[in-house]
Amino acid sequence: MAGEALLRMREVRKTFGGTVALSGVDFDLNPGEVHAIIGENGAGKSTLMKILCGVYPMDGGSILVEGEPVRIQLPKDALALGINMIHQEFANFSKLSVAENVFVGRLPRKAGFPLALDSRDLLLRTAEVLGRLRLPIDPGARLDSLSVAQQQLVEVAKALSANLRILIMDEATSSLNLRESEQLFATIEALKVEGISVVYISHRLKEVMDIADRITVLRDGANVGTFPRGHIEEAAIIEAMLGRRLRAAVKKAATRGPTVFSVTGLSIPGKVRNLSFELHRGEILGITGLSGSGKELAIRGLYGLWPSRIERMECNGEQVSISHPSDGLSLGITYLAEERKNMSVFPQLTIRENASVLWMRSVWRRFVVSRRREREASLQSLRRVNVKMAGAESPVDSLSGGNQQKMLLARLLMVQPEIVILNDPTRGVDVGSKQEIYQIIYQLAREGVSIIMTSSEIPEVTALADRVIVMSKGHKIAELSDAEVTTDNVLALVTQAAAADEHG
Amino acid sequence: MNGRRFRAIIRDQKILLIILAIALVLAVVRPVFISAENLFNILFQVSITSIIGIGMTFLMIGADFDLSVGSNMVFATTVAILLQGSGLGAGIAAAILASTVAGFLNGVFVAKLRINSFISTLSMMIFLRGLVLILTNKQTISGSSDALFSFGYGNLFGVIPYPVVLAAALLVLFALVLARTVLGRNLYAVGCNEKAARMFGIDVAGLKIFAFSLTGFLCGASGIVLLSRLNSASGTYGIDTNLDVISGVLLGGISLSGGEGSIFKAFQGILLLGVLSNAMILLHVTPYLQQVIKGLMLMTVVSLDSYQAKAAAFR
């Protein structure tokens, strides 16, 4: 049938626990088309694609390939249909050669002696695939000798070397610079020429507008519109993405307290350039920008969680340095990590034990910890942030995501910090808990605690912060305060910066 | 430019360089070191650890290891002696089979029951050691046949000890298996990223069981080499073998985290330990000090590897 869509997803639904991730989403893909999906974190982009790849089963809906209904329950079902996804983290073999990565699990054997590897054929076939994508990469090179960008292109070659019809790329440019991104776009063009369809998930509006034939916007697990290229303006897409859900709270009058903390010349090679700022007592300072702007790395670098160079750091007027989180704790600075599961929660321990981890450090000189004091201190702190739990001795797993996050805030507050750094404080948290967490943050600031925060959601930062540092490509491009702190202002600044980047 | 090449040689060939340095010093202060007899003596001393080291290299490339190799080797020697009544050949065959089965079981524990290889092979080490003590009744038992002596003490062309010939043949054979077969290359993928290897259809469990069984088989073969020299077995034999093999392979730069290394490199590490021991004996270093020096050597080389890897990652 001419003009038939290659892929149709209809009324796809998915729920995790009580949270609706997808509420009946439709998605079409034509042969040789680049179709972008954009939306905020948690809009359901990745979930939709993981269903297509057989990583998650769907709760309802249907998938049709060339008009025929198909069942995709496991990754191998998707692979058999020629649906492949570029995996970012866990699917490559850094110590092996490019060729071995491309043909892993399918290494060619010698015709006469099938036990033996046909290394000549392996190199030739890899060179052939790389050639089809016009990639100047040596098939014999060790994968970890390549740049991240090249490694990603090897992943594309790997997908292409098997039977490939649909390639899914999730935030493919998040760790690439401008020239590397252009190489990736050229590779996508080469795929299109071969008739392969590409689903392109991204935060970056600009590049999506450039390469996609069609753009689908997801918000809160629903498709809010599919637009052909050239028929929509950036502003309209932003409007569709954000839906104006988060209205900026009324900013309190700006009476800045004294400076409690300052950083001069924070740099991370290739990621952050010469960032300086001051933090006042009782202030909420937001650091924001698009993903890849360096906002997250900057605050990790400042807390000794990422190798960085800092010219000068002052805390309460004294020069200090933080090369490790324990230095930060000694200065009364606590840090909420962006990843709850891997970086914060101890799943085998109880709620009390989880909450009192930092507090233990403050009492260790006493050598023997009073169980009673520990319980009192943790209960007090847990109550303060309103963790809903059966009891503090329950396993931490019994808490919902939102309550786990609040427990982590309780952990930070137990040591009475002067400064709190929050890296994406509401990631993976339900709407109700989000509001509660915002209240906790406001309350802290009112009590005189100074807060540095960043978030994957720009409106969250603009709603909370008194002052905002806007970053783009590792540079601080602006500083907004009080009434200037609005999502529209921030977006205007980052779009301008991206445009200037493009022309300069 | 030249400086960079020089550094690359230091980095990649440091074991060979250390061996050469020791050899040069010894050649001057103890000329007997470079006699053909002493050199073949060194090779003979490392033949048993090299044979087992092949299996250990396969395991470590797949990100596993085996603590039971010493026990397993003596187990083979014991079985071969006890079953010699039904013929030397039958005894040898049964011994190698028994060791292979022990290795296979290690593989099943690790790959199928998902028990960490430290725990499963530690259990096997204790179990086999106990079994040997029971079978030998805590005595040193001797073989009834000395037919193997012609192998253990014989020389090919009158100079190369047969155990060295056997070790060399096995080293070459399995170096080819590791580098040139699909099975070998898949093992590297497993060690590099087990989860991904499984996702791409590689039989991870099968490969692991193969590597453990191979190690068991090679322990059996080493047990027979031991028999050919000593014609006896005891629960006190082979206590140091585990540590000699593992530290030798580590010296060769094969990391416990898997995914890289080669038989050739592992052999270099084992040879370094052999040369070092021989040198220390010739220099009359006391046995206790010898251990201290071996420990220091391992720590130094592994720290150097780790430092260089860090430096490379930071560039």
In DSSP notation, B263-280 reads HHHHHHHHHHHHHHHHHH
User: Is the CB of B259 less than 8 angstroms away from the CB of A107?
Assistant: no
* Axis-axis angle for helices B88-107, B117-135 (nearest 10): 150
Q: What is the arithmetic mean of pLDDT over A244-268?
A: 71
* pLDDT higher than 70, residue A503: no
**DSSP 8-class letter at A253:** P
User: Is the CB of B180 less than 8 angstroms away from the CB of A119?
Assistant: yes
Using the Cβ of B243 and the Cβ atoms of chain A, whether some distance falls under 8 Å is answered with no
User: Is the CB of A100 less than 8 angstroms away from the CB of B188?
Assistant: yes
What mean pLDDT value characterizes chain B? 89
Hey, where are the domains in chain B?
17-305
Q: Given the DSSP bridges, would you call strands A284-288 and A450-454 parallel, antiparallel or unpaired?
A: parallel
Cα A292 from Cα A219, distance rounded (Å): 21
% of chain A residues with pLDDT over 90: 34
Q: How far is A179 from chain B (nearest CA, A)?
A: 20
- Residue A228 pLDDT: 87
Span A162-194, pLDDT tens digits: 889 999 998 777 667 778 888 889 999 999 988
The pair of structure tokens assigned to B53 is: 């080291």
Chain B residues inside the 8 Å CB shell of A116: 180-182
User: Is the CB of B182 less than 8 angstroms away from the CB of A93?
Assistant: no
Within its chain, how far is the Cα of B28 from the centroid?
30
Preferred mutation among A93, A100, A110 to probe B, highest tally of B CBs within 10 A: A93
Q: What is the arithmetic mean of pLDDT over A474-494?
A: 86
Phi-psi region of A499 (alpha: psi -120 to 50; beta: other; left: phi over 0): alpha
- Residue A241 pLDDT: 74
Q: How far is B184 from chain A (nearest CA, A)?
A: 9
Chain B residues inside the 8 Å CB shell of A100: 185, 188-189
Same fold across A7-242 and A251-332+418-504: yes
% of chain A residues with pLDDT over 70: 92
User: Is the CB of B196 less than 8 angstroms away from the CB of A92?
Assistant: yes
Cα A486 from Cα A501, distance rounded (Å): 23
- Residue A243 pLDDT: 63
Cα A452 from Cα A287, distance rounded (Å): 7
φ/ψ of residue A245, rounded to 5: -75, -40
Cα B239 from Cα A142, distance rounded (Å): 39
Using the Cβ of B203 and the Cβ atoms of chain A, whether some distance falls under 8 Å is answered with no
* pLDDT higher than 60, residue A504: no
Return the CATH architecture of domain A7-242. 3-Layer(aba) Sandwich (3.40)
- Residue A88 pLDDT: 61
Cα B226 from Cα B243, distance rounded (Å): 17
Hey, where are the domains in chain A?
7-242, 251-332+418-504, 340-416
* pLDDT higher than 80, residue A312: yes
Q: How far is A144 from chain B (nearest CA, A)?
A: 9
What mean pLDDT value characterizes chain A? 85
Using the Cβ of B195 and the Cβ atoms of chain A, whether some distance falls under 8 Å is answered with yes
pLDDT band at A248 (very low <50, low <70, confident <90, very high): very low
Q: How far is B34 from chain A (nearest CA, A)?
A: 38
Q: What is the arithmetic mean of pLDDT over B281-301?
A: 89
Higher pLDDT, A363 or A219: A219
Span A337-380, pLDDT tens digits: 887 777 888 888 889 988 988 888 777 666 677 788 888 889 99
Q: A346: closest CA among A336, A338, A357, A333?
A: A357
* pLDDT higher than 60, residue A195: yes
Using the Cβ of B178 and the Cβ atoms of chain A, whether some distance falls under 8 Å is answered with no
Looking up tokens 């000593």, which residue turns up? B230
Span A53-66, pLDDT tens digits: 888 888 989 999 99
* pLDDT higher than 90, residue A3: no
Q: Report pTM.
A: 0.76
By C-alpha distance, the chain A residue nearest B258 is: A95
Element containing residue A23 per DSSP (H, E)? strand A19-29
Residue type, B106: N
- Residue A210 pLDDT: 84
Rg (CA), chain A: 25
- Residue A502 pLDDT: 58
pLDDT band at B104 (very low <50, low <70, confident <90, very high): very high
* pLDDT higher than 70, residue B92: yes
Residue A358 · residue A334 · CB < 8 Å: yes
- Residue A310 pLDDT: 92
Within its chain, how far is the Cα of A416 from the centroid?
30
By C-alpha distance, the chain B residue nearest A307 is: B314
User: Is the CB of B196 less than 8 angstroms away from the CB of A75?
Assistant: no
Chain B residues inside the 8 Å CB shell of A92: 193, 196
E runs forming strands in A406-500: 419-423, 450-454, 467-472, 475-481
- Residue B21 pLDDT: 92
Using the Cβ of B199 and the Cβ atoms of chain A, whether some distance falls under 8 Å is answered with yes
Cα A263 from Cα A279, distance rounded (Å): 9
Which range among A419-433, B66-80, B90-104 shows the weakest confidence by mean pLDDT? A419-433
Cα B88 from Cα B251, distance rounded (Å): 37
User: Is the CB of A117 less than 8 angstroms away from the CB of B180?
Assistant: yes
Burial A385-405, CB ≥16 within 10 A → b, else e: bebebeebeeebeebbbbbbb
Higher pLDDT, B127 or A294: B127
Cα A68 from Cα A90, distance rounded (Å): 32
Q: How far is A145 from chain B (nearest CA, A)?
A: 10
Which range among A285-289, A425-429, B1-5, B250-254 shows the weakest confidence by mean pLDDT? B1-5
Cα A239 from Cα A500, distance rounded (Å): 22
- Residue B152 pLDDT: 79
Report the 10 Å Cβ neighbour count for A144: 14
Q: What is the arithmetic mean of pLDDT over A292-311?
A: 89
Residue type, A494: V
pLDDT band at B221 (very low <50, low <70, confident <90, very high): very high
Which range among A184-198, A233-247, A350-364, A426-440 shows the weakest confidence by mean pLDDT? A233-247
Residue A433 · residue A405 · CB < 8 Å: yes
The pair of structure tokens assigned to A5 is: 């869509």
Q: What is the arithmetic mean of pLDDT over B196-222?
A: 93
- Residue A431 pLDDT: 67
The pair of structure tokens assigned to B82 is: 């006890």
Q: B186: closest CA among B169, B207, B168, B171?
A: B207
Residues 6+ apart with CB under 8 A from B215: B52, B55, B56, B58, B59, B66, B69, B103, B106
Beta bridge partners of A199: A35, A168
* pLDDT higher than 80, residue A93: yes
User: Is the CB of B189 less than 8 angstroms away from the CB of A116?
Assistant: no
Preferred mutation among A85, A92, A96 to probe B, highest tally of B CBs within 10 A: A96
Partner A, chain B 260-299, Cβ-Cβ below 8 Å: 260
- Residue B314 pLDDT: 53
> In residues, how long is chain A?
504
pLDDT band at A246 (very low <50, low <70, confident <90, very high): very low
The pair of structure tokens assigned to A14 is: 């998915």
Class of domain A251-332+418-504: alpha beta
Chain B residues inside the 8 Å CB shell of A87: 196
Residue A37 · residue A169 · CB < 8 Å: no
* pLDDT higher than 50, residue A247: no
Chain A residues inside the 8 Å CB shell of B305: none
Preferred mutation among A95, A97, A146, A309 to probe B, highest tally of B CBs within 10 A: A95
Which range among A9-13, A87-91, B155-159, B270-274 shows the weakest confidence by mean pLDDT? A87-91
Element containing residue A44 per DSSP (H, E)? none
Report the 10 Å Cβ neighbour count for B315: 4
Fold entry, domain B17-305: ABC transporter involved in vitamin B12 uptake, BtuC (1.10.3470)
